[in-house]
Amino acid sequence: MRWRQYISLLFVCALGSGVSLFALFLINGMLRSLSTKAKIYYGGDYQFVGGLNDLSFGDYRNFVTKIESVFGGKAVVSPRFDFDAASSAIYFEGVGVRQRIIKGVDFDREKKLFEKFNYVDGSAEKMAGTNGVLLSDKIAQMLECSVGDQVTLMLRTAQGYTNTVQLVVKGIFLDSSVFGFYTSYMDLNFLQKAYCIPEFYANRIGIFFDGDSPSSADDAKFQKLLEAKFDMFRMVKDKYIFYDQLHSGRLGEKYALIPLYANMKELQVVIDAIKVIALFVIVTLIAIIVIGISSTYRVIVMKRINEIGIFKAIGMERRSVLLLLLSEASALLVAGCIFGLLLSFGFCRVIEKFNFLSIPAFNIFLTDGILLPAPTIFHVALIFCVVTVTTIFAVLFSVQTAIKITPVQALAVTE
Amino acid sequence: LKKIFAAIFVLVSGIFFASAYSDEELLKLAQENTAFYGKDFKGFYSLVHEKPGEGKSVTDAIMYRRDSESKWTILITGPAKDKGKGYLQFDGNIWFYDPADHRFTFTSARDKFQNTNANNSDFAPQFYHRDYSIFSAEDAMLGKLDCRKFVLKAKVENVTYPEVHIWVTKDDGLVRKKEDYSLSGQKLRTSAVPSYQVVQDGSAKHFIPVKMLITDNLRGKKIDGKVQYEKTQVTISNITFSVLENSVYTKPYLEMMSEK
């Protein structure tokens, strides 16, 4: 009947590690989705901003060349013009929808970034140099327009005049309320002309790494390199620290490198909350595994006390007996973790079947409307190590008393 | 012989009227006709906003204007749900007051008045001569009205529309029709003023539209495959010219009136 206890231990280990891994994969996927959305919105992993008392580059070309020399060929350096579109609206067949922000983008440079967008229809492929516009799914629904339709953008120019331009809808994207609903994307040059500003004017320069995101060590390295070329403000965790000082006029001409997290200060509370919940779930599950296995193992060992007595009677040392028991526990844990990994993949496949778009404000964590878990070897190794090491120590503690018993005492015990 | 005399009369009167005002003078007169300096203006406004497919909504308001100080106050008296709301312009700023939260919020001359097709700027003097230069002018008949059609282009920044076309009757300098265009030349709005009422203020005569019909050329709805645009009809009545208290053009006045 002992095998049943081993099966139940295997089950506990598999379920605990499986759910823990699934939680980690899920959180990782959610944060990756959020990060991708943020990168598209902010123009990459970093934003280079600044100017004389305001965010503006009268002629961005010189800045782009210098920044490219700092980041090398690994990064895409692209100028952007974020147009405050609070008094602008897009009209289609009489229906008008107000805009929050319109982003002028160099689609040739940012091609790879915009490939990551979740398009409901169309794409950003033929946006460069045209009067195309990318609208959010929500705006397209409100306007009742689709890809290929011509819409009218009414905006106020830099001189304060009302202007209208005709735009062709080239892509409709699925995006979140935080970044996307009332944000549209246009060709940089076309937006500059519509807004009546000089050709090479920009107010942001995005820096995007098509691969691994830069680490905090990279942040410091790039900051230092940029300091050699520009009068830089210190690296901040919240971009508004720099904005407030720049706009106050106290800084004069100053520039700053804003990492992605410094752009998402408002979301950091949500991100931290998710991480805390995930950590709580994982710690609880691992505690269940550790306590469950170690206490069950104590019972198993007690039941096997005669067996231990025989091992000792035939000359096995205490250490060898311990090693034997720990090897069994290790085999059980490894098997449990492997089953747990398979189980977590199963959970991932299941969660991908559900559409979560109906949950308000949750869409910032979704990819194409679904939760897309992102498994990583690091997370698998982490859970395996934590589960194995902590459980082995717990088992070690549990069986200490049992292995100290003499062969005579052990053989005297009736099961 | 009668025909010859008639032809000569038409020709002479045409020359007379044509030479009565130069284009610049006529434009200036058109501008002056929209402003009432020296005294305060008070009038009742009724705005009927027609949204295709959604029916009509009526907004009633009382307007107070002191053009000499670029001040005005609009107090909304109907419908019941909007009663007590108000607009106030002074020191170059326009404020909107909502009694529901007792707060004044900043608004702009370009913003739509109560979401109708009238702009807040429509209730103030129209500076056709000061802010615009004549791009072209030509004779045009507007029904039976003998008009001069001006194509005006903004010569200063921050005017709502960079290009406007106005039809001004030659004999009295009254604007009979106006089209507002965007910088790219797209027509955004058409306003028609079929008739004016003359209000005698001492020795001065003021011309105030009886009705104005504003048609939006962007906002509307597609019905049966055709886009029908929103319209707003503004009717002005019970006009008086008298000196009003300075307090009328203050925030406390709006707050006080909204509680009545």
Distant-in-sequence, close-in-space partners of B243: CB < 8 Å, separation ≥ 6: B39, B40
Is the CB of B155 inside 8 Å of chain A's CB atoms?
no
- Give, as one character, the DSSP assignment of residue B244: P
CA dist A341 and A337 (Å) reads 6
Closest-CA residue of chain A to B227: A93
Average of per-residue pLDDT across B106-128: 87
Helix (H/G/I), strand (E/B), else coil: A42: helix
A contacts of B223 (beta carbons < 8 Å): none
**pLDDT at position A170 over 90:** yes
**pLDDT at position B113 over 90:** no
Unique residue bearing structure tokens 């006029």: A249
**In b/e form, how buried is each residue of B102-117, taking b as 16+ CB within 10 angstroms?**
eebeebebbbbbbebb
**In b/e form, how buried is each residue of A39-50, taking b as 16+ CB within 10 angstroms?**
bbbbbbbbbbbb
**pLDDT at position B13 over 60:** no
Average of per-residue pLDDT across A150-164: 94
CB–CB contact A164 B184 (8 Å): yes
**pLDDT value at residue B45:** 95
Average of per-residue pLDDT across B73-100: 91
Residue A316's pLDDT band, with cuts at 50, 70 and 90, is: confident
Which pLDDT tens digit goes with each residue over A121-136?
A: 999 999 999 999 999 9
Helix ranges (H only) for B119-227 are 128-131
Residue A196's pLDDT band, with cuts at 50, 70 and 90, is: very high
CA dist B177 and B140 (Å) reads 11
CA dist A198 and A157 (Å) reads 12
Residue A164's pLDDT band, with cuts at 50, 70 and 90, is: very high
CA dist A79 and A81 (Å) reads 7
B contacts of A157 (beta carbons < 8 Å): 183
Helices and strands in chain A, H and E counts:
13, 12
Question: Which tokens sit at B115?
Answer: 């979401």
Q: Which of A86, A41, A50 is nearest to A203 (CA)?
A: A50
Question: Which tokens sit at A130?
Answer: 């045209």
Q: How far is A181 from chain B (nearest CA, A)?
A: 21
Which pLDDT tens digit goes with each residue over B193-203?
A: 999 999 988 88
Out of A95, A157, A159, the one facing B221 most closely (by C-beta) is A95
Closest-CA residue of chain B to A196: B183
Query: Mutation test of the interface with chain B: which of A149, A151, A161, choosing the one with the most B Cβ atoms within 10 A?
Result: A161
Average of per-residue pLDDT across A150-156: 95
Q: Which of B230, B244, B21 is nearest to B114 (CA)?
A: B230
User: Which string of DSSP letters, residue by residue, matches A169-236?
Assistant: EEEEE---TTTTTTEEEEEHHHHHHHHT--TT-BSEEEEEESSSPP-HHHHHHHHHHHHTTS-BPPP-
Please give the residue that has the higher pLDDT: either A226 or A396.
Answer: A226
Residue B7's pLDDT band, with cuts at 50, 70 and 90, is: low
Closest-CA residue of chain A to B188: A164
Secondary structure (H, E, C), B5-18: HHHHHHHHHHHHHH
CB–CB contact A154 B110 (8 Å): no
- Give, as one character, the DSSP assignment of residue A359: S
CB–CB contact B183 A162 (8 Å): yes
**Torsion angles phi and psi, residue A361, rounded to 5:** 65, 5
**pLDDT value at residue A228:** 93
Is the CB of A84 inside 8 Å of chain B's CB atoms?
no
**pLDDT at position B11 over 80:** no
Is the CB of A164 inside 8 Å of chain B's CB atoms?
yes
Is B165 in contact with B154 (CB distance < 8 Å)? no
Out of B110, B161, B229, the one facing A94 most closely (by C-beta) is B229
User: Which string of DSSP letters, residue by residue, matches A219-279?
Assistant: HHHHHHHHHTTS-BPPP-SSHHHHHHHHHHTSS-EEEEEEEHHHHTHHHHHHHHHHHHHHH
Q: How far is A128 from chain B (nearest CA, A)?
A: 22
Which pLDDT tens digit goes with each residue over B174-217?
A: 999 999 999 999 999 999 999 999 998 888 889 999 999 999 99
Residues of chain B numbered 179-218 and touching chain A (CB < 8 Å): 180, 182-184, 186, 188, 218
Q: Which of A185, A194, A61, A204 is nearest to A128 (CA)?
A: A185
**pLDDT value at residue B250:** 92
B contacts of A87 (beta carbons < 8 Å): 108, 110
Average of per-residue pLDDT across B122-129: 91
Closest-CA residue of chain A to B180: A162
B contacts of A165 (beta carbons < 8 Å): 184
**pLDDT at position A277 over 60:** yes
% of chain A residues with pLDDT over 90 = 44
**In b/e form, how buried is each residue of B41-67, taking b as 16+ CB within 10 angstroms?**
bbbebbbbbbbbeeeebebbbbbbbbb
**pLDDT value at residue A412:** 73
CB–CB contact A96 B219 (8 Å): yes
Secondary structure (H, E, C), A99-121: CCEEEEECCCCCHHHHCCCCEEE
Residue B16's pLDDT band, with cuts at 50, 70 and 90, is: very low
Q: Which of B111, B74, B68, B102 is nearest to B89 (CA)?
A: B74
Average of per-residue pLDDT across A322-341: 88
Please provide the average confidence, as pLDDT, over all residues in chain A: 87
**pLDDT value at residue B15:** 47
Query: Hey, what amino acid is at A315?
Result: G
Which pLDDT tens digit goes with each residue over A3-55?
A: 777 888 888 888 888 988 998 899 889 888 888 888 888 989 999 999 998 99
Question: Which tokens sit at A279?
Answer: 């950590």
Is B51 in contact with B223 (CB distance < 8 Å)? no
Strands (E), chain B: 40-51, 55-66, 71-78, 86-90, 93-98, 103-107, 132-142, 145-154, 163-169, 175-181, 187-192, 196-201, 204-209, 211-223, 226-242
Question: Which tokens sit at A274?
Answer: 């998710």
CA dist A338 and A383 (Å) reads 11
Residue A91's pLDDT band, with cuts at 50, 70 and 90, is: very high
Distant-in-sequence, close-in-space partners of B69: CB < 8 Å, separation ≥ 6: B90, B249
> Which region among A215-219, A276-280, A408-412 has the lowest average model confidence (pLDDT)?
A408-412
CB–CB contact B158 A159 (8 Å): yes
Query: Half-sphere exposure of A167 toward its Cβ, with a 13 Å CA cutoff?
Result: 32
Question: Which tokens sit at B10?
Answer: 């038409």
CA dist B180 and B227 (Å) reads 19
Q: What is the CA radius of gyration of chain B?
A: 20
**Torsion angles phi and psi, residue B44, rounded to 5:** -100, 130
Ramachandran sector of residue B143 (left: φ over 0; alpha: ψ -120 to 50; beta: rest): left
Closest-CA residue of chain A to B222: A93
| Length of chain A as a residue count | 415
**pLDDT at position B2 over 70:** no
**pLDDT value at residue B6:** 56
Which pLDDT tens digit goes with each residue over B129-168?
A: 999 999 999 999 999 999 999 999 999 998 889 999 999 9
Closest-CA residue of chain B to A96: B219
Is the CB of A160 inside 8 Å of chain B's CB atoms?
yes
Query: Mutation test of the interface with chain A: which of B117, B119, B183, B221, choosing the one with the most A Cβ atoms within 10 A?
Result: B183
CA dist A320 and A328 (Å) reads 12
Unique residue bearing structure tokens 């009067």: A131
Q: How deeply is B152 buried, as exposed, middle or buried, from its count of CB atoms within 10 A (0-12, 13-18, 19+)?
A: buried
